[in-house]
């Protein structure tokens, strides 16, 4: 199948500023984009829901849209750990790309789906390829 389904008891709709009960979300496997959102019948009980092998069952949980962090410096440590100039001068591109990959992964696991880097600190457009 080209999609998998996430089943949730509550989905937050930021446009309506409201929660929607009993929702199933179809997700495109290749892109990760939401393909369809379906509201299940209010009277549908948990036992009657047919789960496929690759479905994600989040019933009893809340699904939120991805968070946005619009000011990051993913290629750098905190300035408290090491000054930025020192990092740019003394660290290899590979070391900084690995750090950025780890920062982005941690952000994704924390619920951030959009991450904007404000300056790649001498690495050109390297942030555009971290997906």
For 30-77, write each residue's pLDDT tens digit. Answer: 988 889 999 988 766 666 778 888 999 998 898 887 888 888 888 877
Residue 82: which pLDDT band, with cuts at 50, 70 and 90? confident
Domain count along the chain: 2
Higher pLDDT, 56 or 84: 56
Residues 71 and 116 in one domain: yes
CB-CB contact of 14 with 62 (8 Å): no
- Exposure of 41 in the CB half-sphere (CA atoms within 13 A): 6
One domain for residues 104 and 74 = yes
96 and 73 share one domain: yes
50 and 84 together in one domain: no
Same structural domain, 56 and 71: no
Indicate if 101 and 119 belong to the same structural domain: yes
Last residue of a domain, one of 23, 40, 63: 63
**Same-domain pairing of 47 and 86:** no
Q: Which long-range contacts (CB under 8 A, 24 or more apart) does 120-127 make?
A: 120/75, 121/73, 121/75, 121/76, 121/84, 121/87, 121/88, 121/96, 122/88, 123/75, 123/93, 123/96, 123/97, 126/75, 126/93, 126/97, 126/100, 127/74, 127/75, 127/100
Nearest to 37 by CA among 55, 54, 24, 56: 24
Work out whether the CA dihedral 20, 27, 105, 68 comes out positive or negative: negative
Q: 13 lies in which domain range? A: 3-63
What pTM was computed for the model?
A: 0.58
The last residue of one of the domains, among 40, 63, 86, is: 63
Encoded tokens for 17: 């500023």
Same domain, 10 and 34: yes
User: Does residue 107 share a domain with residue 84?
Assistant: yes
């Amino acid at each position: 199948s080209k999609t998998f389904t996430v089943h949730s008891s509550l989905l937050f709709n930021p446009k309506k500023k409201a929660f929607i009960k009993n929702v199933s979300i179809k997700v495109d496997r290749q892109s990760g984009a939401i393909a369809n959102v379906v509201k299940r019948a209010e009277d549908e009980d948990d036992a009657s829901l047919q789960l496929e092998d690759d479905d994600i069952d989040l019933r009893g949980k809340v699904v939120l849209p991805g968070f946005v962090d619009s000011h990051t410096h993913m290629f750098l440590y905190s300035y408290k750990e090491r000054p930025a100039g020192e990092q740019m001068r003394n660290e290899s591109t590979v070391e900084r790309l690995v750090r950025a990959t780890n920062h982005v992964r941690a952000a994704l696991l924390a619920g951030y789906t959009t991450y904007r880097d404000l300056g790649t600190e001498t690495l050109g457009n390297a942030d555009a390829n971290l997906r």
